[in-house]
Amino acid sequence: MKHFAALLFLAPFVWGQTNLLPAREVLALEERGAQLMESVSLLVPELARAAAPLQENAKQARLNLIVAPGGMHAGLVHTYLVNARAFALLSDAVPKPYPFPDEGTRQVTEYRQLLSKLEAHFTALLQQRETALRSPDRDNLKRYAEANTRLAPATAGRVVFLGDSITDAWRLNEYFPAQDYVNRGISGQVTGEMLGRMKADVLDLKPAAVVILAGTNDLARGVPLATIQNNLTLIGDLLSFHKVKAIYSSVLPISDYHVAVNPTYARSPQRPPEQIRAMNQWLESFCKNRGFTYLNYTPALSDAQGMLKSELAEDGLHPNAMGYRLMAPLVAEAIQKTFAPARPAKR
């Protein structure tokens, strides 16, 4: 145990481009770190008493990270590391039994390596956040820039699908063969970013209608409902000005049914069902007032508890093939309704 804390920083791991770890691996490392703290503390009774608050703080940081959006919250990773580092320093200061067991030495070595890996991940995470903040392409217009230049001339029935990962993953050509339907979903996007893509990825493509499925990522990031509604209103204003028909989809329900598979699949803490309901009530009213089509997916995708049916998603958020099969006829019906000629007013 001698010079334990110093060794943490004298022999850092070199991880190159793999420094940024997936959320599942970060959680696994933090869980293993907590186990090692406990094991080493059992070998050093004085450490167990002195380090108890540090262990509890690290545990709470990990539990909060489990439900953080994407499991990649830099602040929570930092909180865990601060307490994990403090544990290492404290362990170097308290008296240890002599001779120290071989198993304890192995655990100390594993703990050192684990912290080095988390340190490298944290540094990479900060670099990623800084790069994103300074990006000259905040809205990711480059994603479809080339595809837009290669797109065939628009037909009278062209429909652009604008959205986030739920749209991005939808293979429209498989569900709507021979239709001029253009997918312009980008995983992870919020409504403000979609608003920034309206000219390049929607209006310049000359669609007759646009299907908008947005808002779930805004909720997960804590964007106020009023801000989401403002962005969606501005999207509608642009479509109306350019005489493009608008179809607004309801925010899809979520569930926590798959949390046993992966703790990050706890969706309701970031996307509270009551906020989803509030957004959908606003969307329905907004569409009615503006003469837009409201596409309500909720009844078909929800169970008796109002959650996304377990069999329709593997992670409680993104529809699987069965989910898209239920959604396809609903969007087809909404498009048909939108394109139908207006009925003459009764005299």
Domains (range + CATH), the chain: 4-134 (1.20.120), 142-339 (3.40.50.1110)
- Average pLDDT estimate for 259-273: 89
pLDDT of residue 190: 96
Token readout for 259 is 């949390």
For 166-182, what is each residue's pLDDT tens digit? 999 999 999 999 999 99
**Residue appearing with tokens 């905040």:** 138
pLDDT of residue 45: 86
For 120-134, what is each residue's pLDDT tens digit? 999 988 887 777 777
Residues 258, 261: Cα–Cα separation, whole Å: 5
pLDDT of residue 68: 66
Evaluate if residue 135 carries a pLDDT over 60. yes
Evaluate if residue 8 carries a pLDDT over 50. no
For 74-97, what is each residue's pLDDT tens digit? 888 999 999 999 999 998 888 888
pLDDT of residue 343: 65
Output the pTM of the full model. Answer: 0.70
Burial class (CB in 10 A: 0-12, 13-18, 19+), 203: middle
Token readout for 305 is 């508890």
